[in-house]
Amino acid sequence: ETGVTQSPTHLIKTRGQQVTLRCSSQSGHNTVSWYQQALGQGPQFIFQYYREEENGRGNFPPRFSGLQFPNYSSELNVNALELDDSALYLCASSFRTQQTDTQYFGPGTRLTVL
C-alpha cells in the first residue's frame, strides 16, 4: 500500500508570485483534502475534492484553488502569494465509506513567502 506523497518538500517564493503544490493519494483513495498549517497552530481545512469536483471549502479566499485528476492525484494552486501564506501545506486522502471518512496525511510541503 502506497501512502500519501507530496511534492516539493520545500519551496521559497516571493510575494505576488503563484505556486502549485502536488499530492498523490494513498492507493485506493478517491477523496483528497488540503490543509494549511501555520507555525504553532493546528491544520486548517482549505478544501476537499471528490471525483474531480470540489466538495466543500474552508474559509480561504478564491486565490486558493485546486484540481483533482482522474487518477485521484491533486494540485493546490495559490495565486498572488502573501507573506501570511507561509505555512506547511498538508494533503490528506480518504476513501468514501458509509461512516465518517478517516483522513490519511502526507508529509507536507513547506512554503516560505518572502
Interaction between residue 20 and another protein (CB under 8 A): no
105 binding another protein? (CB under 8 A):
yes
Distance CA 31, CA 18 (A): 25
Contact call for residue 41 and another protein (CB under 8 A): yes
Options 11-19, 44-52, 68-76, 79-87: segment touching another protein (CB under 8 A): 44-52
Q: Total residues at the site for another protein (CB under 8 A)?
A: 29
Check residue 96 for interaction with another protein (CB under 8 A). yes
Our finding on whether 2 is near another protein (CB under 8 A) is: no
| Part of the chain binding another protein (CB under 8 A), chosen from 11-19, 22-30, 61-69, 90-98 | 90-98
Secondary structure (DSSP) of 40-99: TS--EEEEEEETTEEEEE-S--TTEEEEE-TTS-EEEEE-S--GGG-EEEEEEEE---SS
